[in-house]
Structure 1
């Protein structure tokens, strides 16, 4: 389901055997001055290889194709389109412009229009990977489903994939007995453990803020209509926290070992991640089966649903400011764009601008 970024700073153990990824080409700006003024999201989004069965002759999405995107650096529409283009295998150049209507240039062809029209244009020119779908997902959601339910479901998808990725990585570390990875760019075992620790810190921030959002925003709404409904889910949060903190401390202890990294400690680490994976799987399934349908059953009005979504984002401000890319990494391209759709359609523009537009370009 998910995707990981293929960069030189991650272990090959991070990459799912079923989900190969291609590093997006660097994004250039028209001048050093333009670079200093650019505040669009960092170009580190997942790109899946095209499926042989679905490849069409509409366009060849290759790294040799250069696409220029014109628009204000503080525009949500421009940021949204840039996220979309980063999923395609193209060389992307962002050119800051005062024109409020974004423009895409491919060769000598320039096209302007609304966000929706330009997204369709991108899909026609570069069919793979597909970003647009006519239904929200295959889980039975529709237009009546509260946005907070869709957001939580997508959070679960991302966290599930990242936990499984960390489990695979820990198992690979244990199988190697702490020896150097085959990929020289990973560095020494100590360097790899530091990268492992950084990745887990990002995952923990996402998981902790997600749990806080549910406890502060979602659960009170459900408890107000049926007291005790969220007791089991709250208990699950309580059981997961010590395990997550224990993993963090265990990684720290492995990182400071002077006598090398022992297989025994690494196998123990992998075992802890396996426990976390199983716990999260059961927890998420229970919430999606027992609790999320009840949010819709609570019959909240549209304004209440929108308010709930924004309150949830406020609680998860740290996640969306610090590890927004990390959250999107755990989603398929279609799911990632669905999440951006939720933010743009239901969240306060000033709030989401703080993490969608106020980010520098990383070449």
Structure 2
């Protein structure tokens, strides 16, 4: 009849512990206020549960019966001192808001370029961290590079339309040199775009395909080095001079944040989440603080709301790492 002794049940892994409850805070202020939105975004980066109540005055933050009010920077400095998570209080901006915004755009582009290089290397090494088929992964890569290229080209056009005309009145030679650097980057970016098209038709896994991926990584590294040097030169030579111009020129001749936003429609539109995902939380807060200086309050309000929704959907971002930011926005 055989052995009828029942087999012991397989041991089951214990269920994961429930996520820790978020600390609850209350935020009061006028509905639609940019200051209130800025504070809320900072609190969401802290991974706090934010309850909002409309009020005639604000923003006012309440935590465990303790209240703090005032400018967003003051409230967020209080949040940095009281709550765990990444720093979110924006630094006091220099006189030239456009200069600090352009420098933050550099940081985002640098990090996205670094991501593309590492992504390419992963595909060369067999796609250890890649998802789906090699063809699908290549399409994702091409889409990611297309977003980055669109943002970089808009940034260059913005500088040529907004920053360089102001510079030309003071230092025409420096302005000419900066324009020449831009002229070098466009062929490099277009070359990578066209090269990606040629990779799509190659057989996956073959020697020619691997060689093409290696060449792609090399091209990306060359672009990365060139952009890093170019950005450093602008931040060393151009932006400080731009700040001086802002303090000395009449208001009508100063570059304004509105001009920056208008010159970069895609970056502040369908690429906005992509752009911000290359910034750390305190850098994002600094950039949003610059945007809040724009005259078109309705437009900025819509942009801030998209950031709120993204953070609420992702459960907040408590990590300072770019990897955490990229995962939260599902770039690829």
For the pair 1:155 / 2:90, whether they are aligned, the reply is no
Q: CA separation in 1, counterparts of 2:250 and 2:102?
A: 17
TM-score by length of 1: 0.68
For the pair 1:280 / 2:254, whether they are aligned, the reply is no
| Matched ranges for 1:302-313 at <5 A | 303-304=251-252, 307-313=255-261
User: Kindly tell me: are residues 131 and 302 of structure 1, through their superposed partners in 2, closer, same or farther at Cα, counting changes over 3 Å?
Assistant: farther
List alignment gaps of at least 5 residues for structure 2. 1-19, 314-332
SS for the counterpart of 2:150 is helix
| Residue in structure 1 matching 2:285, options 329, 337, 344 | 337
User: Kindly tell me: are residues 146 and 93 of structure 1, through their superposed partners in 2, closer, same or farther at Cα, counting changes over 3 Å?
Assistant: closer
List alignment gaps of at least 5 residues for structure 1. 1-61, 137-142
| Residue in structure 1 matching 2:264, options 316, 337, 347 | 316
Q: How many residues align?
A: 289
SS for the counterpart of 1:320 is coil
For the pair 1:229 / 2:174, whether they are aligned, the reply is yes
| Residue in structure 1 matching 2:165, options 220, 223, 228 | 220
Q: CA separation in 1, counterparts of 2:110 and 2:195?
A: 21
Q: CA separation in 2, counterparts of 1:358 and 1:64?
A: 22
| Residue in structure 2 matching 1:175, options 125, 133, 147 | 125
SS for the counterpart of 1:357 is helix
How far residue 199 of structure 1 moved from its aligned partner, in angstroms, is 2.0
Equivalent position of 2:32 in the other structure? 74
Q: CA separation in 1, counterparts of 2:125 and 2:191?
A: 22
Q: CA separation in 1, counterparts of 2:98 and 2:117?
A: 28
Deviations 1:209-230 (A, max 9, x none): 1100111111112112333332
Say whether the 8 Å CA contact 1:193–1:255 is kept in structure 2.
Answer: yes
Q: CA separation in 1, counterparts of 2:141 and 2:26?
A: 35
- The structure number with the bigger radius of gyration is 2
Equivalent position of 2:79 in the other structure? 122
User: Kindly tell me: are residues 123 and 254 of structure 1, through their superposed partners in 2, closer, same or farther at Cα, counting changes over 3 Å?
Assistant: same
Taking only aligned residues, the RMSD between alpha carbons, in angstroms, comes to 3.1
How far residue 249 of structure 1 moved from its aligned partner, in angstroms, is 2.6
Q: CA separation in 2, counterparts of 1:351 and 1:302?
A: 26
| Matched ranges for 1:342-353 at <5 A | 342-345=290-293, 348-353=296-301
Greater mean alpha carbon deviation, residues 123-132 or residues 215-224 = 123-132
How far residue 327 of structure 1 moved from its aligned partner, in angstroms, is 2.1
Q: CA separation in 2, counterparts of 1:267 and 1:104?
A: 52
| Matched ranges for 1:349-360 at <5 A | 349-357=297-305
* Greater helix proportion: 2
For the pair 1:291 / 2:241, whether they are aligned, the reply is no
